């Protein structure tokens, strides 16, 4: 039975609201106990962002994933000419693999790869030029452009955009490895989506997940969390981030919003600019790219702080999306709630965990265990959906139980304080750098 997307949206929204109402009713004893210790306003604020809001989000996500019935991705008779922009800075250890994976694409149309070296201080430029000469073929043109000095990713991408003419533009990070069908499936998804689609985000997965405990946890973050959220958002025509690591855009749409803005979160800011025009951004979970994630805690912290600052940049430039009448507006508000959620988690929940270790169960106690059933259901559904997607592409989910346990139990205790540091850095207008290498 076909259910229109708008009707499905309000149906799932209602179910999530009922779940939150049930959570409020069940939490009344907890609220009274916490109010006696800390006062009603602080108690309500704490429980709202520890239980009510996350519970609503998880219930909406579960309902959306279960109700996802997007049109199938279809092959086409004629594949349009497409360019791939690879902006890179100090990627001497990775750029050769990235170009090798691009040279192995099974894309039936004309494909041009343009590497933009953003003033690297290592051998990235020389290696890119060597590999371009070695891998180029009649069906694949590879060009290497050299920026005179490091100017940031947005400048590099805009320079590459100005040096190309193809209608479809794909961005790929210089530390990535694409499956051989990734570009083809990304273009097919774009051509199969509604006509107002101007961008499609690909699926970014972790390549170096076996390195240590941190990369093992991030494998689940990308495979389990980020992918599920993008899939849900695309269902309602508004994926909030067409990430720079692997996304497709139309040239007309990019030129309409002035290209990539000069900021640390250029991908989320340009995505919100596209959404503000009323356009649609999709997601293709079958177009898979594997990237190297930070393997040291300092790198990870700098990357996620940059993401948090990018979110604040997006609100500063495109806050009008909060009042734009479309389904994806819910997710803009959703992102706005990340700041108080991260603050409460960092300043209230984590201290509550420490207090519970000493026998004080004001914050973390029996009532907090009520969120576990929903969390277990959420994890099981997302895993099943992603596992089915992997199986359809002859891939399998690697065994990573230790990484999953840390991802579910301890990952947020690192992630959310780091995000708070990113918000503070943006509010204090501290110097912005790429800062993950």
Q: pLDDT for 34-70, tens place per residue? A: 898 889 999 999 989 988 998 899 899 989 988 888 7
Cα–Cα distance, 226 to 248 (Å, whole number) = 18
Is 33 a residue whose pLDDT tops 70? yes
Higher-confidence position of 370 and 151: 151
CATH number 3.90.550.10 given to 82-319: yes
Q: pLDDT for 160-190, tens place per residue? A: 999 999 999 999 999 999 999 999 999 999 9
Is there a contact between 43 and 334 (Cβ–Cβ < 8 Å)? no
Is 365 a residue whose pLDDT tops 80? no
- Residues with Cβ within 8 Å of 316's Cβ and at least 6 positions away in sequence, in order, are none
- Residues with Cβ within 8 Å of 219's Cβ and at least 6 positions away in sequence, in order, are 205, 206, 209, 398, 400, 403
Cα–Cα distance, 396 to 223 (Å, whole number) = 12
Domain ranges for the chain: 5-69+327-427, 82-319
Distance of CA 114 to the CA centre of its chain: 24
Is 338 a residue whose pLDDT tops 80? yes
- CA 335-336-337 angle, 5° bins: 90
* Mean pLDDT score of the chain: 90
Task: Give the Cβ contact number of residue 184 at 10 Å.
Answer: 22
- CA 409-286-276 angle, 5° bins: 85
pLDDT band at 326 (very low <50, low <70, confident <90, very high): very high
Is 369 a residue whose pLDDT tops 70? no
Is 138 a residue whose pLDDT tops 90? no
- Reported pTM: 0.92
Both structure tokens of 153 = 């990713």
Is 437 a residue whose pLDDT tops 50? no
Write down the pLDDT at residue 357.
Answer: 79
CA distances from 253 to 86, 259, 270, 279 (A): 19, 8, 10, 9
Q: Read off the pLDDT of each residue in 335-343 and give the average, rounded to a whole number.
A: 92
The percentage of the chain sitting over the pLDDT mark of 90, rounded to a whole number, equals 65
Is 306 a residue whose pLDDT tops 70? yes
Both structure tokens of 396 = 């399998």
Cα–Cα distance, 159 to 119 (Å, whole number) = 13
Is 371 a residue whose pLDDT tops 70? no
- Residues with Cβ within 8 Å of 174's Cβ and at least 6 positions away in sequence, in order, are 86, 87, 88, 89, 91, 94, 95, 98, 115, 124
Distance of CA 142 to the CA centre of its chain: 28
């Amino acid at each position: 039975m076909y259910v229109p997307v708008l009707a499905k949206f309000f149906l799932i929204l209602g179910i999530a609201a009922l779940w939150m109402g049930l959570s409020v009713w069940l939490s009344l004893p907890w609220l009274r106990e916490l109010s006696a210790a800390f006062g009603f306003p602080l108690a309500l604020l704490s429980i709202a962002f520890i239980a009510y809001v996350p519970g609503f989000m998880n219930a909406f996500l579960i309902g959306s994933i279960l109700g996802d019935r997007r049109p199938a991705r279809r092959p086409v008779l004629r594949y349009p000419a497409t360019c791939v922009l690879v902006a890179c800075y100090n990627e001497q250890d990775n750029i050769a693999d990235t170009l090798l994976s691009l040279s192995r694409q099974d894309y039936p149309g004309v494909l041009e790869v343009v590497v933009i070296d953003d003033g690297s201080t290592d051998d990235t430029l020389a290696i890119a030029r060597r590999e371009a000469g070695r891998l180029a073929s009649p069906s694949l043109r590879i060009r290497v452009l050299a920026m005179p000095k490091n100017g940031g990713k947005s400048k590099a991408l805009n320079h590459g955009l100005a040096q190309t003419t193809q209608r479809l533009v794909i961005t790929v990070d210089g530390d990535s490895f694409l499956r051989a069908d990734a570009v083809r499936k990304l273009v097919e998804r774009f051509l199969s989506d509604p006509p107002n689609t101007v961008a499609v985000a690909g699926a970014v997965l972790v390549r170096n997940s076996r390195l240590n405990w941190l990369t093992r946890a991030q494998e689940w973050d990308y495979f389990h969390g980020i992918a599920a959220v993008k899939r849900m958002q695309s269902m309602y025509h508004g994926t909030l981030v067409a990430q720079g690591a692997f996304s497709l855009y139309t040239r007309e749409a990019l030129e309409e919003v002035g290209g990539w803005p000069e900021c640390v979160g250029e991908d989320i800011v340009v995505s919100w600019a596209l959404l503000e025009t009323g356009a649609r951004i999709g997601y293709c979970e079958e177009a898979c790219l594997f990237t190297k994630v930070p393997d040291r805690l300092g790198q990870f912290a700098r990357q996620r702080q940059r993401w948090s600052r990018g979110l604040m940049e997006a609100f500063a430039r495109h806050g009008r999306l909060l009042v734009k009448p479309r389904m994806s507006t819910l997710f803009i508000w959703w992102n706005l709630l990340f700041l108080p959620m991260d603050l409460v988690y960092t300043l209230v929940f984590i201290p509550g965990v420490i207090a519970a270790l000493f026998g004080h169960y004001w914050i973390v106690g029996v009532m907090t265990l009520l969120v576990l059933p929903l969390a277990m259901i959420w994890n099981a559904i997302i895993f099943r959906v992603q596992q089915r997607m992997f199986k359809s592409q002859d891939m399998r989910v690697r065994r990573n139980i230790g990484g999953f346990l840390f991802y579910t139990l301890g990952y947020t205790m690192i992630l959310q304080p780091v995000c708070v540091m990113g918000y503070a850095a943006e509010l204090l207008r501290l110097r912005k750098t790429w800062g993950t290498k």
